[in-house]
Chains A and B, each alone.
Chain A
Amino acid sequence: MTMEQSAVALAPAERAVSLLGGDLTEKSLKLHLDGLSGVDAVGLEARAAGLSTRSIKTTSKAWALDKIISLIDLTTLEGADTPGKVQSLVAKAVNPDPTDQTTPRVAAVCVYGDMVPIAIQALGAHHAAGTDKGINVAAVATAFPSGRASLAVKIADTRDAVQAGADEIDMVIDRGAFLSGRFGIVFDQIVAVKDACRRVDGSYAHLKVILETGELNTYDNVRRASWLSILAGADFIKTSTGKVQPAATLPVTLLMLQVVGDWYRLTGERIGVKPAGGIRTSKDAIRYLVTVAETVGEEWLQPHLFRFGASSLLNDVLLQRQKTKSGNYSGADYVTID
C-alpha cells in the first residue's frame, strides 16, 4: 500500500467518525483494526464448548423452541429457485405447522433479489415491512455469494432489491480486499451499500453484513471484520453465506457476539448478529440461544437483534415441538418437505 492510498479519505460513516475522529483515512482505520487485541483461540473454543453442555429441559426447552422459530430467517438461495418454491417457502413462514396454530411465525424470509416481489405478493397482509408484526422480506445483494463484482454493480443490485420492497439487505463483504489488507475498500463498499439501502421516504432497509467467516481464516480476522462492518454502519453482522464450509460455528458466533457486546458498552447501541448455514438441529440452535443469553444478555433474543439463517432447521424444531406437545416422537412425514 502506498502513502497516497493511505491518505485517501474514506466515505464518512457516522460511527467511524465518532470513534476514530473526523479525519478518517484507510490508515487510521487500519491502525484501529490492527490494534485490536488478538483472540485467544483456545479460550474461545473452550468457552463455546462449555456453553454447549448446558442442559435445557421441559418448559425452558418449549420456550426455546418457540423462540428459535420466531428468530428464523427462512431461507432459499438456490440457482433453481422458482416462483413456486418461494411461494411455498412463504406459506411455510406464515404457517409453519398447519396442525398447530399456536406455532409462532418466523421473522423473515430470505431470497435472491429478483424473488422479492414474489415473496411480498405471497405474504400479502402478513408482510411486516420493517416492523416486528409480521414477516419481513430479506434479499441477498452485492453479487452474493462471492461478492466479486464492481461497486456499481453491487449498488445497482442493492437498489433493485430495496426498490422491489425488500425490508432487509444481506450484503457480502469483499473478502479478497479484506484478506489483502485493503480494509478501506471493504469499508467504503459497506458505506456505499448502506447508502443504497435508503428508500425514497428517507428510511433505510436493514443492512446485514455477511463476513463469510469460513474464508477469513483466523479468529483475529473475524474480530477485525466485525469491527469494520459495525464502524461502516452495519445493523447486523452475519457469519456466512451458507455456500462456504465451514459456515456458522459456535466459537465464531460467540466472538462476533463479544464484539457486539463491546460496541454496546462503548456506545449504548445494539447491533444484531446472525449465524447462518450449517445450523440444522434444535439442539444446535438452543446452544446458540444459550451463547447469546450468556454473552450479551437475553434482551438480544428478539428478531431485530438475533436471527438464524436456516432452511432445514425449522423442520427439526417443528418435530421437537410436536414431541414436546404430544409426548411421542414425530417423523418427517408430519412436516412439509420445503
Chain B
Amino acid sequence: MTPTRLAVPKTYKLYIGGAFPRSESGRTYEVAARDGSFLANAAKASRKDARDAVVAARKAQSGWAGATGYNRGQVLYRIAELLEGRRAQFVDELRRSEGLTDAQANAQVDSAIDVWVWYAGWADKYLQVAGNGNPVAGPYFNISTPEPTGVVAVIAPQESSLLGLVSVVAPALVTGNTVVVVPSEQAPLSAISLGEVLATSDVPGGVVNVLTGSPAELAPWLAAHADVNALDLTGAGDLDWVDLQITAADTLKRVLPPEPGVPAPSVDRITFFTETKTVWHPKGII
C-alpha cells in the first residue's frame, strides 16, 4: 500500500516591490479551472495595494531607466532564459487554468518566450530607430531622443494569461519604464509565476508589480493616480474604458486603448510609452 501524502497547495500572492505580500485588505478569491473545478486561491488586490505598487514602481523607475540599454537588454534576455527553465510549470498552469491541450500550452509558452526575446533585443536599438539628429539652420547639433515616460499601469489581456501578459509588459519595460500590471482575473496563476521568475532574475524589485484581482475595481484608481504616467488599457475592453480615458486625461496620461486578443510584437508599443526629448548643442567652430 502506498502511503497517502498531504497535498501542499501553493498560496498565490501579489508581487509588489520585489516581495510577495498578501493583499492589504486580506481578501482572496477562488481561481477556477476551465471546467469549473477549484484551482487555487489568489490574493484580491485593493486600491491600497495599487497605491503601494505605484510607490514601489516610482522608487524603482530612475534606477531602471538609468541602466544602459545594453544592460536592460541583457536583464530582459535573462528572464527569457529563466522562463525556458520553468517551462513545465507554465505549461501545467496554462493547461489547468485555460483548459489548453499540452501542445497548445507548449505553443503559448514558446510564443511568450520568443516575444520576450524579441523585445529584449530592442532595448539597445529602439533609440536609433525612434531618435533623430535634426537638421537645423544654425551651428548646433539638434538631437531628439525618446525617454521612458515613467510608471505605466497596464490592464493585461484577460483571455491569454501568459502570452497576453508578456506582450504588454515587455514593451513597456524595454525603454526603462516601470510597470504596475493587473493580469487576467480568471487566470492569474501565470502572472504570479512570472513574478517569481522576475524575483529570481536580475530585474530590480519594483520594476514589475503584479496585482491580481478585479480590473474593474483597480483600473479607476490607477487611471486617476497622479503618479502614474501612462495607462495601457489593452485588456480593458470589457470595462468602461472611455470613462477611464477621461479620468486619465485629468493628469495628462498617455493612454493605449483596448485591443482584442493578443497584441502582436511591434516597435510602436515600445515607443508609445516614451517622451521625446530634444536638445540643442553648440557645434565647435573649426
Q: Which residues of A line the B interface, CB within 8 A?
A: 322, 327-334
Contacts and interface: CB of A to CB of B under 8 A. Distances in A.
Query: What's the interface size class on B, roughly?
Result: under 10
Interface in B203-249: 221, 224-228
B51 interface: yes
A332 B58 CA distance: 9
A329 B58 contact: no
A90 to B, nearest CB: 27
Residue from the set B54, B58, B224, B227 with the largest chain A CB neighbour count within 10 Å: B227
B149 to A, nearest CB: 13
B57 to A, nearest CB: 11
Interface in B86-133: none
A77 to B, nearest CB: 25
Residue from the set A327, A331, A333 with the largest chain B CB neighbour count within 10 Å: A331
A332 B225 contact: no
B48 to A, nearest CB: 10
B129 to A, nearest CB: 29
Mostly, the A contact residues are: loop
13 contacts: A322-B226, A327-B224, A328-B221, A328-B226, A329-B51, A329-B225, A329-B226, A330-B226, A331-B54, A331-B58, A331-B227, A332-B58, A333-B227
Contacts, number: 26
Given A328-B225, A330-B227, A332-B227, 8 more contacts: A322-B226, A327-B224, A329-B225, A330-B226, A331-B58, A331-B227, A333-B226, A333-B227
Contacts of B224: 327-329
Interface string B244-280: 0000000000000000000000000000000000000
Contact of B221 (A329, A330, A331, A333): A329
A333 B51 CA distance: 15
A28 B224 CA distance: 64
A60 to B, nearest CB: 18
Nearest to B48: A329
Contact of A334 (B58, B221, B226, B228): B226
Nearest first, the 4 closest Cβ-Cβ pairs linking A and B are A331-B227, A328-B224, A331-B226, A329-B225
Contacts of A328: 221, 224-226
A328 B51 CA distance: 10
A331 to B, nearest CB: 3
Residue from the set A322, A329, A332 with the largest chain B CB neighbour count within 10 Å: A329
A330 B54 CA distance: 11
Nearest to A329: B225
A320 to B, nearest CB: 11
Contact of B54 (A322, A327, A329, A334): A329
A36 to B, nearest CB: 42
A327 B223 CA distance: 12
A329 B228 CA distance: 9
Residue from the set B51, B224, B225, B226 with the largest chain A CB neighbour count within 10 Å: B226
Contacts of A329: 51, 54, 221, 224-227
A333 B225 CA distance: 12
A266 B91 CA distance: 74
Contacts of A322: 226
A327 B51 CA distance: 13
A315 to B, nearest CB: 13
Residue from the set A328, A330, A333 with the largest chain B CB neighbour count within 10 Å: A328
Interface string B35-70: 000000000000000010010001000000000000
A53 to B, nearest CB: 15
Contacts of A333: 226-227
B260 to A, nearest CB: 29
Nearest to B227: A331
A333 B227 CA distance: 7
A329 B54 CA distance: 10
Contacts of A330: 226-227
B217 to A, nearest CB: 15
Contacts of B226: 322, 328-331, 333-334
